Structure 1
């Protein structure tokens, strides 16, 4: 039952938020005279730098950022359920694409892989990722050719590192496996044992205040094919994602995409050529929504060394431990779109 609808047009968002950050530490038990041998329970646990989740061993893997196709003919995709961070950003027209960043998990297959744009490259650089794409715009090609980011592109490796699936048609059928990503990195002498700097996370005891928001909808230009709905699953304590009314799941495993953090950031967009390519401002900061634990807070976003993160009163707001999806929406006057939520 709709209790409290709120529709906010992209040119008129107003925001504020607060949070706190605590750190946890384990203590090693000691005997009277000397420290006791550490048991499995007493060994300090490691955590994933991009999800904050506990890991048995310290991860030294470099992050990998993959351009994933979001055209309806590319759904359901492979590998999205295992991404630590996913950006959803407009490409040409009313079409969005994903930049999926992997570090804590390495899915067997990722795709369909799509072409690069310059602003996706900038986002990948924020996590010092190896950038994976198939094709490029002129501005993206200039960035890749300049050597400012380590990358593997299907224009060079189509049929070798990148494989074409028989069950889909081009340009919606290019896939890559983590095995092939590692092979390509080795061939190009990429350093792959440098993990990204860790994000900040809430402790397990901390929770978020805000408006009740069990369902959030993002509409891009009133195109229902790219409507995004996040539904809070109380049992899981996570959000499910839907596109055009269908749940986002993994093509190969049928695992649903489940996430703990949603950040919706309003940024200036500008069309720059006859093909409809865009310039997107990721530097100025602006209005945003942060959604966690079935609650929504109005906040600000800032670019923190290439990372789009939530802030309030100049201080970064820690994330919940888990996966994060970041939807970038236009703030430019005259663009049609909306964000709404309900209890």
Structure 2
């Protein structure tokens, strides 16, 4: 009987100790701090104030500076069928960004979905300035900041020689009480595993009247490498730029009432309403749709079955065009 009682006592002690150890492990798991992820790129990182920089995208402007650190890059059509970038930074800031160029009317509607962003650009035509002033944008342009922040690169020709020091820009902006620049709260996409697709996309060609981008799937890097025309699209650091998720967003592009100093008509890319899109990730293409009821709403991306399309965490580029891309399996 004593042996039985002793056995039960030992067994009970083991169970109690195991329970305590289990609770300890559970407590550790429960108390483990949640990893902060950047809202825009879905990767571990901070959510700092949103800075949007307009960047020249003509051939003479390449290689561009600081693009590799952008969380999101929009490629939009400007005068003469060329393209210009709106690079969005939140998780981190590079020391320099450029070459900085002027704002366009499409930027107001496009950027409204991100809240009140800090908007960095070289300037704007006089007719557009009051419209920009009324928009929900914090004006951080070169027109309001000194050359110590918006400097000139002596090794680049004008007008593609304006280079921004973003840390000094935000420091100066935040020193003013009236400055309001949001941090990311909601992203215009959802991150998740790739949904079923039978369409391989080893190369994709995206066109505008006088500009072409190509995306080539790299099996080794498991990313789409970006080509500007036929040349590798390099950052000034020497890195071959890439995307983890690319979207060709088919939009209406129409002439606006604005123009450049050379007489070119500024096109307007409409990013509210509904339309079709091509989502590229993991070497596959997905035909999806987009919808955005008003400027304040974020864009929603849906599969053909109506479910929300999943983006891959990482760098995201959105190409705004009215031409269907050419996809090579």
CA contact (8 A) 2:149 2:166 kept: no
- Cα RMSD after superposing both structures: 2.6
Distance 2:55 2:267 in 1: 18
For structure 1, the 5+ residue unaligned runs are: 1-28, 331-336
CA contact (8 A) 1:52 1:199 kept: no
Give the secondary-structure state (helix, strand or coil) at the position aligned to 2:273: coil
Counterpart for residue 254 of structure 1: 238
Deviations 1:209-228 (A, max 9, x none): 2410010001212x3xx210
CA contact (8 A) 1:239 1:259 kept: yes
Higher RCO (CA-CA < 8 Å; seq separation 6+): 1
Q: 2:85 aligns with which of 82, 87, 98?
A: 98
Q: TM-score normalized by structure 1? A: 0.80
* C-alpha displacement of 1:133: 0.7
Counterpart for residue 42 of structure 2: 52
1:282 paired with 2:267, answer: no
Flag the 1:109–1:306 CA change in 2: closer, same or farther, 3 A. Answer: farther
Deviations 1:62-96 (A, max 9, x none): 21111011011111100111111111000111110
For structure 2, the 5+ residue unaligned runs are: 1-18, 258-262
Counterpart for residue 134 of structure 2: 146
Counterpart for residue 120 of structure 1: 107
Deviations 1:148-207 (A, max 9, x none): 31121112325132111111122111111222222232243324573332455444x555
Distance 2:221 2:42 in 1: 17
Q: TM-score normalized by structure 2? A: 0.83
Give the secondary-structure state (helix, strand or coil) at the position aligned to 2:310: coil
Q: Which has the higher helix share?
A: 2
CA contact (8 A) 2:54 2:87 kept: yes
Deviations 1:260-286 (A, max 9, x none): 111111111111345311222221211
1:31 paired with 2:27, answer: no
Q: 2:302 aligns with which of 305, 311, 316?
A: 311
CA contact (8 A) 1:62 1:196 kept: no
Flag the 1:275–1:30 CA change in 2: closer, same or farther, 3 A. Answer: farther
Deviations 1:83-111 (A, max 9, x none): 11111000111110000011112111110
CA contact (8 A) 1:92 1:277 kept: yes
CA contact (8 A) 1:118 1:140 kept: yes
Flag the 1:243–1:270 CA change in 2: closer, same or farther, 3 A. Answer: same
CA contact (8 A) 2:47 2:90 kept: no
Distance 1:182 1:65 in 2: 11
Distance 2:207 2:201 in 1: 16
Is the radius of gyration larger for structure 1 or structure 2?
2
